[in-house]
Structure 1
Amino acid sequence: MKFNFKIPKEQDSLQIATWKYENEYSFYSNDKTKEKQEWALNIHTEEDAFTIFDESDKLVGHCSFDDEDGEIILGLQMKPSFTGQGNGHEFVKAVLDFGKKKYDYNKISLYVAKFNKRAIKVYEKLGFYKIDDFTWDIYDEEIEFFVMEKCY
């Protein structure tokens, strides 16, 4: 599958803000809190954020490459209907290839909830390894995360 990365438009943000996930993955739903929905509605205003479209020009995800004191932190989200179908490896690889070409980083990190075994498996297959863990108080819940890193 080929993916096309674009600068987000307001209509993309409006669509992304409606994304809801099932079961434990509902943690990632973009309507989980007012703050999360506000963030999703404003993706088109973020610097270093991109929407991701499939070959049929359907929105299937978005990503961002945030520079925090020289460290690139990857954020990404797949459309709920696109998850759980074996698309993760190809999707994340495309994001990494796009980011490497655009930003030429030597190392990239991401945060992933410890319960998200599907994503962790994909990240490890693509060369990420766990370097730390932490607990984050999100939505009045204590959620455990891994920090994962990939070096080139």
Structure 2
Amino acid sequence: MLEYHVTTDVEKSIISDWKYAGDYSIYNSIPYEEQLSNHSGFGNPCNNYYSFYDGTSLVGYINLKEKESDVVLGVGVHPDMCGKGYGQTIVKLAIELSKVVFGEKTIYMEVRSWNTRAVKCYEKAGFHIIGEPYRKTTPIGEGLFYRMQI
């Protein structure tokens, strides 16, 4: 069973240094210090990050960002741990945590349409695609996204 806690500054710095390969390199982050100075990502006080551990190994994190009527869930899994089932477990725990913290607000995710690995993972955790893909510009670039919710 994975354990989790509110992400520390040290963990935010470690996660910011994770490097993904190939198409997934779009998820590589800028240094934590820059995020703090830009008030973006881990430096945005509106975000609620939690770190997930398998024993002593940091395997992933989530962000639960409360909106007026719903909650946006963001997920990151350590590059070496992708494809090993951690994502699905983390998402299921995130759903439970969101209900405790934010009540019955709808939880949704925005997933790049080309990221079939993530879409399949989130579907296994109970999410499904709502509507048609839409174009969106994010801090890491423009893309075509699916809205997924439970």
Unmatched tracts of structure 2, length 5 or more? none
Change (3 A) 1:74 1:7: same
**Partner SS, residue 115 of structure 1:** coil
| Alpha carbons of structure 1 residues 139 and 40: separation in structure 2 relative to 1, 3 Å | closer
Alignment correspondent of 2:147: 147
Alignment of 1:107-146 (within 5 A): 107-132=106-131, 133-138=133-138, 141-146=141-146
Compared CA separation, residues 17 and 87, structure 1 to 2 (3 A): same
* TM-score (structure 2 length as normaliser): 0.81
* 2:69 corresponding residue in structure 1: 70
AA paired with 1:131? Answer: I
Q: 1:91: which partner in 2?
A: 90
Whether contact under 8 Å (1:73, 1:110) holds in the other structure is: yes
TM-score, structure 1 normalization? 0.80
Aligned length: 146
Report Cα offsets for 1:102-152 as digits up to 9, x if no partner.
3332521010011110111121222212114221234685311101111xx
SS at match of 1:61: strand
Q: CA 1:87–1:104 in 2, change beyond 3 Å: closer, same or farther?
A: same
Structure 1 residues 140 and 83, CA gap change in structure 2 (3 angstroms): closer
Residue 29 (structure 1) shift: 1.1
Q: Calculate the aligned-residue CA RMSD, in Å.
A: 2.6
The AA in structure 1 aligned to 2:50 is: F
Q: How far apart, in 2, do the equivalents of 1:72 and 1:117 lie?
A: 22
